[in-house]
Structures are given as C-alpha cells and as structure tokens.
Chains A and B, each alone.
Chain A
C-alpha cells in the first residue's frame, strides 16, 4: 500500500522552513510552481536560498517580499519582460548573495547531490572569473592525465518545488507531451524534500495508461497538491500560455515601493488561497484566454 501524499497548499508549504535552500522549477517565463511560491510568501517564510536555472517572476516576488537572502543559479530574467528589478535591487543593496553558475556547473552540483557524490566535474567555466569567486568550484587535474576540469561541489537542496500536469494521491507525477523543463531532470532528484503541485489530481489508472509519461515516482515525492493554473502567470505547455498583462503589471509596479506593496496585497497576500487568487486574476474567462496561447 502506497503512502498518501495528497495535502493542502498551506500544509505542503509548511514543509519549507525559514533558512531552507529551495530549488524552484522555472525557465524565465515558463513552468514555475507559482501557487507554492505565493503560499510561501503568504506564510512569511524568511532567509530562503533559491536554486534555479533561469529564474523569473517567482524570484522577483520572493525578493520583493524579503523572503530570500541568497540565490544559486545560472540566470535571473523574465526574457521579453526584462530583468527582475526587485531581485536586482536586493542584490545591489547586499540583501541577496548570488552564487552564479553556468548551466553545466549547476547541473553538476545537483547531479552530485542526487548521486551522493562529493562533486561532479564540468569543462564549462574554465577561463571565466566565476571560478575565483566561488568556493564550491575548484580546478582539478584529470587523474588520467587529460585536461583539467572544474570540480563542482554537491548541492542537496532542502526542498524542490515542481509543477506538473497530473499527479495521483500517492505522489506519482505525470507529464503531458512537452519539452521537459530543465529543472525537472535533476532538481527533485537532488532535493531532500519534494513538493509538487499539479493541474489535476487523477486516479492512478490514468497514469498507468501512459507510464512513459510518469516523470517522478511517488517514493521521491513528499506532498502533492491540486492547483489548476498553478504556474500562472508563467506558461505551462501545453495547457496555457504566459500572462503578458500580469508580467507587464508587475514590471510597472517594480518601479516604486508602494506599487509593489499594492501588487503583493492584491495578488499574493490578499487572496486567502489559490481559488481566490484565480478569481482575482480574472477567473474562468481569463483562464480560457490563456489556454488559447494567442493571448500571451
């Protein structure tokens, strides 16, 4: 008998403690576990370390809320919507410390964490200044006599946050046909605790019909929560596109503190839960528009 993993958003988010290192699935404007990120801010989480490949609006919201004090990642950008301004300001003010890694170095750190190794090497980054400013990267002679490599120290995030299309109550996670988000390949496998929100909770038989689409096994997952449109305002292919209007509203708000506070109150701390959030952003009508992709 498999263990029951289905829970509520507040219960799942409470698995994250102040000070934790939290890996967040995200690729600029794509596929972020936003319902969980908003809930972490609602619960007043502090001093988080955020791990991301290319962080977008979730990083900017966590920075704006004062919920994070460090970032480990390859880039932070909302692509066409520009730099994450609140994150940028916090870094420039010394409130967030950045461990900037190339993509292969981040993959190596997480890969070593997943496989219980002290480090994995990469050939990336050689010649850059990123090695000198980072104690987790060390040049290493090839013991077999070849060219030197960069040893990337194992990284084991306390928690990984993932959004998925489908999950059963036992934490088996199913994906619809899509590019696998870069982080899914390694972040949850390296993390101590894995929390997944899913567009829909389905019967296990639904996953059994397409077992090749099951991307994470239930034994790896600690909590699953149903959160339709849980990646909003980022996109979640093939279900819905990114919300251009909300990204623009956020970019506009980041120019002054009062507008940021108003945005956070309206969209993050104000709504009591994810259902209220979806009503606030336009309900079924808005969701249908985003499902059409052309609105994005």
Chain B
C-alpha cells in the first residue's frame, strides 16, 4: 500500500488524472464496480481506488472477470488482456445480470453517453428527430438502457465537455435519468439515478428537488462562465463562490502514470 494519504498535491497533474482521481473518490470498500467498453477513465479510477483508499473495492472487469490482475491498462477494456488473470470468469446471461439486477450489488455504475441533458438523461442511440430514420446512428444503448432503470447511482464521465455532448434535450432517451425533472423519475417507479457528472471542466450534481444539473465544483483555472459557454443548456447561477475540485496528489499521479496506465490509454478518451 502506497503512502497516498500523506502525499502533497501534484504540481504537474493533467486533466485526465484529475478526473480519474475524482471518480475514484466515488468508490469505497464494500462497493462492487464493473466497466464496459472503451472505459479507460473508469477502469483507471477503480484501480486507483483499490491501490489507495478502497483496497477492498470489488472490480468486475469488462463485466466478465472478477478481481483481475492486469499488468497495465490495455488497449481494450473488454478484451482478455484486462481480465484473463481473474479469480472468476462470470457468465453474462446467467450470472452478470443476476448480480446487477438483484439490487444488493453493483449499486454504482459509470456511464459514458454521446448526449446528456439537464436532467441526466443519456443518449447513445440516434441523433435526429426520427428513431427509424436517424441523421446519425450511434452504437446503441448496450447495458445503459438497463442501468438507468434498475436503481443504480449513475456517474457520468465526459472528457469533452461541449454543447454537443451536454445538450438542451437529448434526441432520444436511451438511459433514464431524472426524465422531465422534479419527481418524474420516482413517479415512473424508478429508484437511484444520476449522482455526478465529471467532465474535463467541472463536476456537476443534481438539485435534490428540481433534479436539474448544477455545478458542484470547478476544476482549477476554470470559470463558471467557461462552463456555461461549453454547456448546451442554462445552468443555475451559483450561490456564492463555487469550490475548486481537489487536484490529485503526487502519489495518485505517480500510480496512474507508472503503475496503472503507463501506455497512456486514458488519453484516447480526450480531445475527441
């Protein structure tokens, strides 16, 4: 176990490392975490948590390999180099969805979405008004269409905060957030819901009553005006000074760079 608690803030952190450290802080001992495809930020965050504050965080890599021991983050977060050295291979049809649907386990889920609206509804299906005649066909909902509806706490990560990805309204809901806001999600019989949105500019959460997305902290050097300009809907004006997102410690940065992801796979998610 590294001496992460007494490590001073890093002076050369980069935005990917800040996002990974912030997401890692959302996972604790006693949680189970799983990742899907092209999920370098969540995979690095789970791993960082396990090396620092949450050594007993359970990780189900690629939703198939329990407690994997990869030697570094590989080019794919679904393929065998991530999960081949596991303590259990989990079968998807029978086991994985039993674990996830049961309600007791895997209560937090990290989501990447092409579009996200003010109430945390996600879209990975189609761009355009007509589902059957889309302007752009996106990859599809995969497991998100389930995770949004079965009581999970959702953690969105978005390395490219822009009006294209944070939109006035999604063209199509393929991951249920707070729907039309207020009590709509609860009235639909759904528990859980979006908790945080971690972007390359800020961290956002959701107002407890309106369920509207709001800035919770600004990353160092970023202003509220910059965030508003990069967001496709109007954000509530902050009441007073917004906190600054904690920067990763020197030890966290070292672990990410030297131990977890020496090949910089995480950078592939940025600048797209």
Contacts and interface: CB of A to CB of B under 8 A. Distances in A.
Given A97-B132, A102-B146, A178-B89, A130 B137 contact: no
B143 A125 contact: no
The 9 closest A-B pairs by CB, nearest first: A185-B93, A102-B145, A127-B176, A124-B146, A182-B92, A75-B140, A179-B64, A75-B142, A91-B137
A235 B266 CA distance: 22
B139 A126 contact: no
A138 to B, nearest CB: 15
Given A29-B78, A179-B65, A125 B145 contact: yes
B70 to A, nearest CB: 12
Interface stretch (B23-31, B184-192, B200-208): B184-192
Given A179-B83, A185-B93, A126 B190 contact: yes
Interface residues of A, number: 59
A80 B75 contact: yes
Contacts, number: 171
B264 to A, nearest CB: 14
Nearest to B90: A179
A125 B142 contact: no
**Is the contact region of chain B dominated by helix, strand, or loop, or is it mixed?**
loop
A75 B131 CA distance: 15
Contacts of B77: 79
18 contacts: A27-B78, A29-B76, A75-B142, A79-B79, A100-B140, A100-B141, A103-B97, A103-B146, A126-B176, A127-B148, A128-B141, A129-B131, A129-B172, A129-B173, A147-B189, A185-B94, A244-B75, A296-B79
Nearest to B143: A103
A100 to B, nearest CB: 5
Nearest to B147: A124
Contacts of B268: 80
A184 B101 CA distance: 20
Interface in B45-103: 62, 64-65, 75-81, 83-84, 89-94, 96-97, 101
Given A125-B149, A180-B89, A293-B81, 14 more contacts: A29-B78, A75-B124, A79-B38, A88-B136, A100-B140, A102-B145, A103-B92, A103-B97, A111-B93, A123-B101, A123-B149, A177-B89, A235-B80, A241-B81
